[in-house]
């Protein structure tokens, strides 16, 4: 499925959503990205074309698209929300250095058995695997660092 404007507008129609220039541009930017952008990322990307665009609108649009089932909110960490228009079943690899997220579509991961030890009446509807590690670039800079590799900043010295 190529990403024509037509195509997007039809998707919106099917979901009962009005198709406005801003909404279309935001969704298009998200579909074209594989970087799991934040609301702010999308704002920065669409802003040049629509200088009046409000970050607010990006948030609103994303929540509408999410409710319509056209985008997923990818929650890596409790920091800002990141979004994904890739609806096919997939999992994520997160680099703990640069925080980039890669998609993984290994079919073996889509056949995990339901975990044992759950209450009988708990119904699992989906699952996601989040792999963590370091990408090549971040591994190099980790090695060249002499300081501690830990994440945030409590023990400052």
Partner DNA sequence: TTGCTACATAGGAATCATTCCTAAACAGGA
Partner DNA sequence: TCCTGTTTAGGAATGATTCCTATGTAGCAA
Pick 122 or 144: Cβ nearer a second copy: 122
40 near a second copy, judged by CB under 8 A: no
**Contacts (CB under 8 A) with a second copy, residues 86-115:** 91, 93, 95-96, 102, 104-106, 108-109, 112-115
**Cβ proximity to DNA, 56 vs 110, nearer residue:** 56
| Three-state secondary structure call for residue 61 | helix
Q: Would you say 65 and 59 are in contact if contact means Cβ atoms under 8 Å apart? A: no
- Cβ neighbours for 54, distance < 8 A, ≥ 6 positions apart: none
- The least distance separating a second copy from the CB of residue 143, rounded to whole angstroms, comes to 11
Residue 55 binds which entry of a second copy, DNA, none, CB below 5-8 Å type-dependent = DNA
Closest CA to 96 of 147, 150, 148: 150
| Two tokens, residue 26 | 């935001």
Site string for DNA, 44-73 (x = CB under 7 A): ------x-xxxxxx-xxx-xx---------
Q: Which residue has the tokens 């792999």?
A: 131
């Amino acid at each position: 499925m190529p990403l024509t404007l037509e195509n997007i507008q039809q998707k919106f129609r099917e979901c009962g959503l009005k198709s406005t220039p801003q909404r279309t541009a935001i969704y298009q930017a998200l579909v074209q990205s594989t970087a799991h952008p934040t609301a702010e990322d999308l704002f920065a990307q669409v802003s040049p074309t629509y200088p009046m665009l409000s970050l607010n609108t990006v948030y609103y649009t994303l929540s509408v698209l999410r409710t319509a089932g056209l985008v997923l909110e990818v929650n890596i960490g409790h920091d800002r929300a990141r979004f994904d228009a890739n609806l096919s079943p997939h999992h994520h690899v997160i680099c703990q250095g640069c925080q980039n997220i890669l998609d993984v579509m290994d079919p073996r991961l889509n056949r995990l058995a339901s975990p044992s030890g759950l209450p009988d009446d708990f119904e699992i509807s989906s699952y996601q695997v989040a792999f963590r590690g370091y990408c090549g670039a971040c591994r190099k800079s980790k090695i060249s660092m002499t300081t501690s590799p830990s994440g945030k900043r409590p023990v400052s010295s």
